[in-house]
Amino acid sequence: MDSRMVESYALGRWHRATDEGRAVLSPVDGAEVARVSSTGLDVSAMAAYARETGGPALAALTFHERAAALKALGLTLMAGKAEFYAESARTGATERDSGVDIDGGFGTLLSYASKAKRELPNDTVYLDGPVEQLGKKGTFLARHVFTARRGVAVQINAYNFPVWGFLEKLAPAFLAGVPSIVKPATQTSYLTELVFRRIIESGLLPEGSVQLLCGDPAPLLDSLGGQDSVAFTGSAHTAAKLRAHPVLVERSVHFTAEADSLNASVLGADVTTDAPEFDLYIKQLTTEMTVKAGQKCTAIRRALVPEAMVGAVVEAARARLERVVVGAPGAEGVTMGPVVSLSQRTDVLAAVDKLRGAAELVSGDPDDFTVVGGDAATGAYLPPMLLRSTDPEAPDVHEIEAFGPVATVIGYRDTAHAIELVARGGGSLVASLVTADPQLAREVLLGIAPFHGRLLVLNAEDARESTGHGSPLPVLVHGGPGRAGGGEELGGIRGVLHHMQRTAIQGTPAVLAATTGQWVAGAPRTEGDEHPFRKSLAELKIGDTIVGGPRTVSLADIGHFAEFTGDTFYAHTDPEAAAANPLFGGIVAHGYLVVSLAAGLFVDPAPGPVLANFGVDSLRFLTPVRADDALTVTLTAKQITPRSGADYGEVRWDAVVTNQDDSPVATYDVLTLVAKTRDGGEP
Ligand code: NDP
């Protein structure tokens, strides 16, 4: 294997260290694979470059434009993934392990791109919650908005996911409009660097929006301030050190950590050995022990099973673990590779030794196992090791994380005891429960939820579709309290908002409308000669209004609507029964009749830029409409969202229907698709 110097990408160019750097050895055979150093790199200048070049470049793009860049990047990287798999094998990853890291990483880019397009506006401001009316007359309102922080997102990653690890942090920051500096773990930085080269070569991301720092990041943290953030994944020890970094503390730099976690998997008391759930439990446990040789922050470390099931679980798991073939990735039949380095192997063995004070080793002997296609002496190989606790209450089995192919089976007395034992992990990223009983699931889930960021319930019904205990998903929260680091990542748009500042804006309706780009009640309306439905997206402005009516509702209208639709509810058809209704006291019009009549009052019928009505939001009927009431509708363009990549966009209209006394009888938002130009061409 060739060894190469890993470079950093900083200030718009690749940087090679001025010294020989630190040697990184392959866990497969102990040969040198890379050298890593940041010597000669002006690390502080990287932060300034991100803020001054990357930040403004990102600010010029809307959420949708950033999403389009991420999508194109995800597809480009996916198309060239073969070379990443080859490099990944040098880190000790099998093909299956590489899939989790590489496809998982690129999939995260695509998932974020699609979520952003659907759930974020085509804008740079994100609105949070409703308008708050602070004064009686409606001249003083407030609204919360999110805007991108003007800093840099520093991402310090662990060695175990050299691809997914940085992309899952980068995607939300990029969408938010915040440039990233990626610092990979030295041990596997050569794979991160290779992917980064392809990212830079693609030219898809604006200059300065992403930089790579391989080697020592220390001076970088000294240059951070209140608009910057640090997101860390790695050991609890380093997390604690960084959290207390004087500059981060003094300047309130946003800091999140995702650290060690003793994740539990609970076998429900309802599961018998002949139930399908028993096999699911065993399969999941042994899979989690062996994927990435157990070096996953979400892997199962504690298998909690009813006391009476301990023997059966150990037997069944041992039978599966004995079929695991340990060896060099790619060698014939190998299903589990080495851990990442010889020192990691030493750490795992030391942790297993400690665990053996409160548990016995029941499967896997580190001094006697077969290695296929690799050398047990020079490579970092370990067998999968299963322990059985001799004392479920012993702190060590709940506190010592052997970050390798290791798990401990622990017996519990009853469900309350199981909940208590799970909580002894002190906060974890994830736990799973295998049960076919929804009531038992409720009891366990609500008992352990405060200690976790994610919970999975597995049984025969969802097993085929289940994404598994150990898979963080871009749309779900990843993180956990306490020992797990106290941070939160991903979770769809929540992860994007972590990079943005929430601000409460107070002012007049006109100020709020101008600032947020969304019309609010009380802001100026424009009633022109031309019907707003005749205007293309390019011509329409928020506040453009059409007032239709009045239209008197007759008893015959109500009777006709009842008969025509089949909605003959007594309040619309039976005068006596309707009179006894405490809310109506007589015949009232259907709410849907009101909405239909309103459409008749505001629609402009001829073909034009309005292409379709795709729904209504927030429909409320506020005042009953009786025969002879006269309805007026006011329709105002509230929000205009051009869709990138389409020749139309969305227009949200504020609709208010009032009666002859000017009381609102119905309020809602009408959602339409409108062409960008009158003739359908480019604006
Ligand atoms: P570390 O905490 O040592 O390293 C994690 C990252 O932090 C690496 O990028 C590392 O860089 C960087 N780093 C270390 N010290 C500093 C510092 N002072 N300032 C800034 N950055 C720093 O974890 P390891 O990767 O070495 O793994 C050790 C243990 O951590 C594992 O055995 C396991 O127990 C746990 N772990 C937990 C994970 C999780 O997701 N919960 C994932 C991986 C590991 P560099 O590599 O250059 O030192």
Q: Does residue 389 have a pLDDT over 80?
A: yes
Arithmetic mean of pLDDT, 640-654: 91
Distance 238 CA to ligand 1 centre (A): 6
Amino acid 644: pLDDT: 77
Catalytic annotation on 576?
no
- pLDDT band (50, 70, 90) for residue 218: confident
Residue of 7, 87, 168, 258 marked active site: 258
Degrees (nearest 5) of the Cα angle 514, 519, 521?
120
Confidence of residue 316 (pLDDT cuts 50, 70, 90): very high
* 238, 430, 478: residue to mutate for ligand 1 pocket, most atoms within 8 A of CB: 238
Return the percentage of the chain with pLDDT > 70, whole number: 99
Q: Please give the average per-residue pLDDT across 6-31, as a whole number.
A: 93
Which of 22, 24, 35, 159 is the best mutation target for the ligand 1 pocket, counting ligand atoms within 8 Å of the beta carbon and taking the most? Answer: 159
pLDDT tens column, 497-506: 999 999 999 9
**pLDDT, average across residues 270-293:** 97
pLDDT at 646 over 90: no
List pLDDT tens digits, range 477-525.
Answer: 999 999 999 999 999 999 999 999 999 999 999 999 999 999 999 999 9
pLDDT range class, residue 374, cuts 50, 70, 90: confident
* C-alpha R_g of the chain: 30
- Taking 90 as the threshold, does the pLDDT of residue 679 lie above it? no
Report the half-sphere exposure of 302 (CA within 13 A, side-chain side): 34
Tell me if residue 393 is catalytic: no
In sequence order, what DSSP letters do the residues of 37-95 get, joined into one string?
A: --TT--HHHHHHHIIIIIHHHHHTS-HHHHHHHHHHHHHHHHHTTHHHHHHHHTTT--H
pLDDT at position 678 is: 82
Residue 25: pLDDT over 90: yes
At 170, the pLDDT band (50, 70, 90 cuts) reads very high
With H, G, I as helix, E, B as strand and everything else as coil, classify residue 260: coil
Considering the candidates 168, 297, 401, 443, report the single residue annotated as catalytic. 297
**Statement: residue 434 has pLDDT above 80:** yes
Cα(348) to centroid(ligand 1), Å = 15
Calculate how far, in angstroms, residue 392's C-alpha sits from the geometric centre of ligand 1: 29
pLDDT of 592 higher than 60: yes
Ligand 1 centroid–CA 234 distance in Å is: 4
Residues 154-182: what's their mean pLDDT? 97
Nearest ligand 1 atom to alpha carbon 184: 9
Residue 103 token pair: 């496809």
Mean pLDDT score, 646-675: 96
Q: What is the ipTM of this complex?
A: 0.93
Name the residue of 41, 169, 235 whose CB sits within 8 Å of the most ligand 1 atoms, as the mutation to test its pocket: 235
Q: What is the pLDDT of residue 342?
A: 93
Q: Measuring from each residue's beta carbon to the nearest atom of ligand 1, which residues come in under 6 Å?
A: 156-160, 183, 185-187, 217-218, 233-235, 238, 241-242, 258-261, 297, 344, 347, 401, 403
**Rounded Cα gap, residues 175 and 348, in angstroms:** 38
How confident is the model over 630-637, as a mean pLDDT? 98
Q: What mean pLDDT is predicted for residues 554-563?
A: 97
| Confidence category of residue 71, pLDDT binned at 50, 70, 90 | very high
Ligand 1 center to residue 219 CA distance, Å? 17
